Structure 1
């Protein structure tokens, strides 16, 4: 009896640990994708301008504007998205808290019913529900009914900051790659650096998602190459026509 009782709390404590690992992986995956967006959008912008002119000032202005605008846009989008998610989560938590206060007996039966649906015998399901309710009634219901934890509600500000930072770090790579080398090699060097970086982000995304590596890497590198070729061609045509 003692060993059983000691084992259960240990297993229960491991669940938030596993959930926190999954949460960190999700944040890391979002960061990789944000960096990828920064790489592709900024690279396409500066390569397009470089196709129209060899002067560094317009390329720098376009690159910085794209970096700042993209980072702000990513942060705002992430803030709005995560705010909606966290508002929904908090509303569900408040609703469950009210239901537990209004009719705890019915909520206990409901919790036991969830365990019965998972194949636990009625007697054992009720005993589990009683013990979990005695430990932390709200946490027990949130986890089983909704897969939520009260301390794991997403922070909109943290999400916005992480998204903006990831985009900025990604955008700096093509910006430096096109500004630092001599004019004669800046475009091909930027192509090489950007495609190599996209291969890395594609690899990381695949690994974090648990999927095979080759196809995602080819997809992201191919898409990035298409964006660079298209914008450089448009910039070259505009430069040759005298429009810019």
Structure 2
């Protein structure tokens, strides 16, 4: 018999890690596409390196701050909901312990245990840590590992920034005639990578995910470049 590997991620820890990875990949993807759309659009109107850098940097900062603020607000709302649910569970355990024990027994029965075994397990879990048992089985919450809005905000900020740096550097570093082609190729290659990684993390088909990702990015750059060319030609 082989002994269990204690440092191998299981259950909720693995699911939480995958969620963070997906969020990071999606944040980087947003940074790539939105910043690429901005700099390619500006490049359609002007070849001035300073203007391209200013527009790209403004897009990077605005996008990363917006992502961070959005994640902070969203996760803070989730955290408030988790705290409220735990507070209600504490009250129920204090005011109606027998009903809560019966509820936990029923939840364990739904997982395939017989009535007697579920009752015994519920009693043991209640004696050990009633709140943790109910939070896990009933709410799907770990009281010691609640969602952290600051972690989510920083993760979104960093992933968006890293993604946005690619088109920003690709548009300002090459010579004038190569800026748009280098940016387009670099962005599409990066979108192939992020599409493949997101599909792999979701256990989905990679070809369709990559095609969607690349098509969306290509369309965004085509539209903004055409708009830039039109505005540049009209002198607006």
Partner of 1:120: 113
1:44 paired to 2:37: yes
Q: Which residue of 1 aligns with 2:136?
A: 143
Any idea what SS the aligned residue of 1:152 has?
coil
Partner of 2:11: 18
- Secondary structure of the corresponding residue to residue 176 of structure 2: coil
How far 1:125 sits from its partner (Å)? 1.0
- 1:77 paired with 2:77, answer no
Task: Show the counterpart of 1:230.
Answer: 223
Tell me by how many angstroms 1:15 deviates: 11
Distance change >3 Å, CA 79–CA 142, structure 1 → 2: same
Report the Cα offset of residue 196 of structure 1.
0.3
Q: Cα distance, 1:216 vs. partner?
A: 0.4
Q: Root-mean-square deviation (CA), in Å?
A: 1.8
CA drift of 1:22 comes to 1.0
Q: Deviations over 1:184-211 (max 9, x none)?
A: 0110110000000011000010001111
Match in the other structure for 1:194? 187
CA distance in 1, matches of 2:154, 2:173: 28
Query: Bigger CA drift: 193-202 or 144-153?
Result: 144-153
What secondary structure does 1:150 align onto? coil
Alignment-derived partner of residue 206 in structure 2? 213
Of 124, 129, 132, the match for 2:125: 132
3-state SS of the aligned residue for 2:84? helix
Following superposition, the deviation at residue 119 of structure 1 comes to 3.4
Q: Which residue of 1 aligns with 2:53?
A: 60
The structural deviation recorded for 1:131 is 1.2
**What's the offset of the Cα at 1:122?**
1.4
Cα-to-partner distance string for 1:2-45 (whole Å, 9 max, x where unaligned):
xxxxx9xx9xx999842111101101100000000000000000
**Matched residues in 2 for 1:15 and 1:188: separation?**
44
* Structure 1 equivalent of residue 235 of structure 2: 242
Please say if 1:87 is aligned against 2:85. no
SS in 1 for 2:174: coil
Deviates more, 1:28-37 or 1:145-154: 145-154
Q: Tell me what 1:3 maps to.
A: none
CA distance in 1, matches of 2:214, 2:127: 54
* Cα deviation, residue 103, structure 1: 1.9
Runs (5+) with no aligned partner, structure 2: none
TM-score (norm. length: structure 1): 0.91
Q: Which runs of 5+ in 1 are unaligned?
A: 1-6
Counterpart-to-counterpart distance in 2, 1:192 and 1:126: 62
